Structure 1
Amino acid sequence: MDTPPLQLNELLAEVHRRKPVQVLIQIPEGLKTNVVEIEDAFTREKIPVITILDPSFGACDIADGKAQVLGCDLIVHFGHSKMLHTQTNVIYWPVEFPLEKNMIPGCVKALNEEKFFQKNKRIGIYVTIQFHRHVNEIKKELEAKGFNVFVGMGDLKDGQILGCDASARRDIEDKVDANVYFGDGYFHALAIAFASKKPTYQYNPFTHTLENLEKYKEKYLRQRFGLIAKAKDAQSFAIILCTKKGQLRKALAMRLKEELEQAGKKVHVVAMEHITPQALMGVHVDAYVNTACSRIATDDFESYTKPLLTPIEVEILLGKRTLENYVFDEIRHIGNKVM
């Protein structure tokens, strides 16, 4: 899969319109090979620029504080769409994939070949920001082939999901027979699979494959239930707060602390910007609770020597939620509040 076009001419036109004194570039790991190209383009336009190379995990991780320290009055944030109110002006530059001519026909073909969709034609379509501008075209072409397509509206853009935000399904859940995620990678797709009671499929437009996510749900649940079981004997916990503006959920951490203490556990609250196994190594507790990005607990759990639970898993541990009602931990951004 090639890097999508950066659309630098359009970006530079918007930057000129903002008339910044100095620009801070914030870029995700997958685009760091383009740093020199981007800086050279800004330099040719005589726009002072600094690129920050700290990891950029999403729109929840805007470097507005660092921009102020560096004297930058405009941030260009690559790879994501707006999520937060910030102190510094921000241009969000999602870097969208072009819709190649065989992507939607491949999706139609794959759906028609799947036995389930031969009788169940009502589907909800979901995308990440990289395909968002094509969502209406995807809907239109699928409907032309006999499908009844719904695009939900949640806290983000219509039809857009993240691994930490599956709110787009809420207003169409009762209208569809199944969900179809149009994109690659399983993290975002699994958020829908767990949030919805309907079957969830992923169509990968790069490999032209359609998969039912049930087997991935089952594998994921086995891993998470194993960690919950390990944490049942834990007597002490460290609840982790993240100081990134879009991941800071102090009220949630305090509620979890109170609930664990009521269950007879000893609880400490720790805070950090970058959550890593090394940073927690010297903290002598039996288990951790992560209130930051859910991907930390789900993708990197094998790197931690102690069970690392999500808030949802603490509810299961304490008997406040059943295993059958497992969902991804969602972080909602409503106005200036992170919930």
Structure 2
Amino acid sequence: MFDEKAIGSLVDKVAKKKPRRVFLQYPEGLKLSIFDISEKLERLGAEVFISCDPCFGSCDMKDLEAKALGCDLLVHIGHTEMKLPRKTAVPAIYEDYRIDIDPTHLLDEHIQALGPCESICLVTTAQYISAIEPAKRFLEEHGKKVYVGQPSLAKHPGQILGCDHSAAEPFDNMVDCFLFLGTGRFHPLGLAAKVKKTVLVLDFETSVLENMNSERDMMVRIKTMQIEKAKEMKRFGVLVSTKPGQSHPGTAEKVKKRLKGKGKDARILVMDQITPEKILGMKIDALVNCSCPRLSEDFRQFKKPILDPEDVDRL
């Protein structure tokens, strides 16, 4: 939940814009705070329109919907700003959600396990970005060479997204391992799929230091199986999202052309939130994901092979 200090900071930012009508967007985890936030914004004299659609990141800005409703400000809560392919249709304020945590006590517990890693690249997600500096300082004090990269799409040094691992990838040949600080599997597994070196996770919920190598190997085996199945398929759906940070129509056109060059029938399928239910009844044998990488991780929901654009060359 957002605490009073965070809400006060947000209200101050909105007050400076003097909006007449505000479109409020937030992730599922902050739903309990949203009425309190909207009430305080309305005290500024603005009408607040609360979005009830799922929100998966700053790639998922509902700025066109905000404009259609006559809103003159979009308030996007819970994520940091990222570089989008276009300017938002209405002015936007980003209020990210931070969890302040000092990771040094956990690092101290696991420092021996980090022994083989003389050089380390640190990464995390937006909510734990404050853990980067104390972790870097602690590891350097224990003789480690520590790298923190600047991302191309994300906002903060060391920050990775599901679609942006640029804070880490350039260091693959320079470090012994990558150390993810935070919680969850999606982000560290996504990184493990992009780099050759070991990805370790210092989990703030379980206090465990975990190696992603076995799960990466499993991902490779599953991907190989899906590609082998897809080789026998004839009809392909190329998935495109209309979410501004997930929309890659040019990539979809190239994928369709490559599929046709391999003798496949391909159609570009467009939707906002991509779900299996929306393609039920369509005569499609396999899918190529040109949207959020998380879709490829959730392949079991689609009950058919779902490939990434680079996999098409292996068909």
Query: Shorter-chain-normalised TM-score: which range?
Result: over 0.9
The answer as to whether partners of 2:100 and 2:130 remain within 8 angstroms in 1 is no
| Structure 2 counterpart of 1:135, from 132, 135, 146 | 132
1:97 equivalent to 2:99? Answer yes
Which residue of 1 is the match for residue 247 of structure 2?
A: 248
| Structure 1 counterpart of 2:309, from 308, 311, 319 | 311
Aligned letter for 1:310?
Answer: D
Alignment of 1:229-244 (within 5 A): 229-244=228-243
Aligned residues: 309
The answer as to whether partners of 1:239 and 1:270 remain within 8 angstroms in 2 is yes
| Structure 1 counterpart of 2:300, from 294, 299, 302 | 302
Aligned letter for 1:105?
Answer: H
SS at match of 2:202: strand
Which residue of 2 is the match for residue 62 of structure 1?
A: 61
Counterpart-to-counterpart distance in 1, 2:120 and 2:41:
43
Counterpart-to-counterpart distance in 1, 2:169 and 2:301:
34
Which residue of 1 is the match for residue 118 of structure 2?
A: 121
Q: Which consecutive unaligned segments of at least 5 residues does structure 2 have?
A: none
Deviates more, 1:145-154 or 1:210-219: 145-154
SS at match of 1:234: coil
Distance 1:315 1:33, change over 3 A: farther
The answer as to whether partners of 2:72 and 2:91 remain within 8 angstroms in 1 is yes
Per-residue CA shift, 1:173-230, capped at 9, x if unaligned? 3321110000111111112212222111010122211001011112222332222222
Question: TM-score, length-normalised on structure 1?
Answer: 0.86
Per-residue CA shift, 1:273-323, capped at 9, x if unaligned? 121111101211211112111111212x11213222221322332xxxxxx
Which residue of 1 is the match for residue 25 of structure 2?
A: 26
Aligned letter for 1:153?
Answer: Q
SS at match of 2:107: helix
Counterpart-to-counterpart distance in 2, 1:212 and 1:275:
31
Which residue of 2 is the match for residue 322 of structure 1?
A: none
Counterpart-to-counterpart distance in 1, 2:40 and 2:205:
29
Distance 1:171 1:230, change over 3 A: closer
Distance 1:5 1:207, change over 3 A: farther
Which residue of 2 is the match for residue 201 of structure 1?
A: 200
Shift of residue 65 of structure 1?
Answer: 0.3
SS at match of 2:60: coil
Counterpart-to-counterpart distance in 1, 2:215 and 2:69:
44
Counterpart-to-counterpart distance in 1, 2:19 and 2:314:
49
Question: TM-score, length-normalised on structure 2?
Answer: 0.93
Which residue of 1 is the match for residue 72 of structure 2?
A: 73
Which residue of 2 is the match for residue 320 of structure 1?
A: none
Per-residue CA shift, 1:26-64, capped at 9, x if unaligned? 011121122222222223443321110111111111010
Counterpart-to-counterpart distance in 2, 1:144 and 1:259:
51
Shift of residue 245 of structure 1?
Answer: 1.5
The answer as to whether partners of 2:240 and 2:290 remain within 8 angstroms in 1 is yes
Aligned letter for 2:71?
Answer: C
User: Could you list the runs of 4 or more consecutive aligned residues of structure 1 that deviate by over 3 angstroms after TM superposition?
Assistant: 3-6, 44-47
Alignment of 1:185-196 (within 5 A): 185-196=184-195
Which residue of 2 is the match for residue 335 of structure 1?
A: none
Counterpart-to-counterpart distance in 2, 1:229 and 1:24:
46
Distance 1:146 1:4, change over 3 A: farther
Deviates more, 1:248-257 or 1:217-226: 217-226
Shift of residue 4 of structure 1?
Answer: 6.0
- The root-mean-square deviation of aligned C-alpha atoms, in Å, is 1.7
Distance 1:173 1:224, change over 3 A: closer
1:275 equivalent to 2:274? Answer yes
Counterpart-to-counterpart distance in 2, 1:108 and 1:314:
45
Counterpart-to-counterpart distance in 2, 1:94 and 1:315:
38
SS at match of 1:174: coil
Counterpart-to-counterpart distance in 2, 1:97 and 1:32:
17
